[in-house]
Amino acid sequence: MSNDAPVKKKRKFELDPRLAAYKGVWVFIEHERGQVHPVSWELLGEGRKLADMLGVELAGVVLAAPGEGQPFCQEAFAYGADLCYLMESPVLKDYRNDPFTRGMTELVNTYQPEVLLLGATTQGRDLAGSVATTLATGLTADCTGLTIDLDNRSLAATRPTFGGSLLCTIVTLNYRPQMATVRPRVMGMPERQEGREGRIIEHPLAMAEESIITKVLDYIPDDTRDKPQLPFADIIVSGGKGLAKPENFQLVWDLARVLGAEVGASRPVVQAGWVELDRQVGQSGKTVRPKLYIAAGISGAIQHRVGMEGADCIVAINNDPNAPIFDFAHYGIVGDALQLLPALTEAFRQKLATARRAG
């Protein structure tokens, strides 16, 4: 192209004046049986950054049974919220799509936030979809990065696309609120600030139980509760297809046992039936954020990487010096995992025994 070619001018974005009143970043505080899902705190940490960039307040949104919500609000302040919108009603005792959608949309229409974040959990995904549809606004699901494009005061939400081979950044310019969901452990946990205070804005919900089609008849605890809790493990030893045979995967279990770690795996290992699906790390598995992630015989494909790159320290063992995992691992060991895993297990065993003897 010649230097004289006409330069296409970027059209200046103008926000629909009717949307200018929308201000503030909101985080849905998800809870069940008195327990707040940790993804809510992770989102408050991220929301704090977005609110500071926009120069607005960060709010938690608590929908709960009468008398249940106040402690959740106090906890939200400790994790960075400036205020909480609290809606309490008997119909909000257990999560159901109808009353939660009605409650959330009523709060949005009344107080007009510009950004609304929810966890990409079963509850969060269910609620986000119906709230976005009811409000006819944009929702970006399963985001891996959130920031503000200050040129047009827009939420820029990044997520994998095309089977995870590309990352795209999505903006919903002329819609409010701009909604996004984020999977647990994708964002870091903010520091809890004991004694931090905020305001509570109470808002009633006028909705009768008779108008709700769904009824809660019983509570059956999730039978996956005792299954591997990879997203919250501090140490994970993960094995990949490079271990060649299912018998060799025992070397991963051995090292994990000595380190008190959880066991993870790449997708081909799960597909081959060497370990159960709950242990798959990556785009179509779990997102993890341990202090230490040891990857043995894993190439580091983007679909695996997006699930574990938030680890504080990644140690990769691979016999190919050009394996992609070495591009982002903090420590790389080029060598045969079948020899290195038992050597590490033995070295850690001895180290721990010495430490125990020394008291």
Which residue among 152, 158, 174, 303 contacts ligand FAD (CB under 6 A)?
Answer: 303
What CA–CA distance (Å, rounded) separates 29 from 116?
A: 11
Task: Decide: 279 and 298 in contact? Cβ < 8 Å.
Answer: no
Any contact of residue 266 with ligand FAD (CB under 6 A)?
yes
Q: 24-83: which residues touch ligand FAD (CB under 6 A)? A: none
H helix intervals, 214-326:
250-259, 267-271, 302-308
CA dihedral in degrees (137, 143, 148, 153; nearest 10)?
A: -10
Place of tokens 């327990």: 35
Tell me whether residue 48 or residue 183 sits nearer to ligand FAD (CB atom): 183
Q: Does 282 bind ligand FAD (CB under 6 A)?
A: yes
CB crowding 328-344: b at 16 or more within 10 Å, else e: ebeebbeeebbebbeeb
165 is in an annotated binding site: no
Q: Which residue has the tokens 């959990």?
A: 121
Choices 29-37, 70-78, 234-242, 342-350; region in contact with ligand FAD by CB under 6 A: 234-242
Size of the site for ligand FAD (CB under 6 A): 30
5 annotated binding-site participant: no
| 3 state DSSP class of 107 | helix
Residue (202 or 320) nearer to ligand FAD, CB: 320
Site string for ligand FAD, 157-186 (x = CB under 6 A): ------xx----------------------
**What's the closest the beta carbon of residue 57 comes to ligand FAD, in angstroms?**
37
Q: Does the footprint of ligand FAD cover residue 338 (CB under 6 A)?
A: yes
- Residue 112 known to bind ligand: no
CB 143 within 8 A of CB 186: yes
**Residue 231 interacting with ligand FAD (CB under 6 A):** no
Beta pairing class for 154-161 and 166-170: antiparallel
Query: Is 195 assigned a ligand-binding role in the annotation?
Result: no
Please, what is the angle between helix 122-135 and helix 97-111, to 10°?
A: 50
For ligand FAD, the binding residue among 317, 332, 344, 345 (CB under 6 A) is 317
Extract the annotated binding site: 266-267, 280-284, 297-304, 318
Residues near ligand FAD (CB under 6 A):
163-164, 240-242, 266-269, 280-285, 297-299, 301, 303-304, 307, 317-320, 323, 336-338
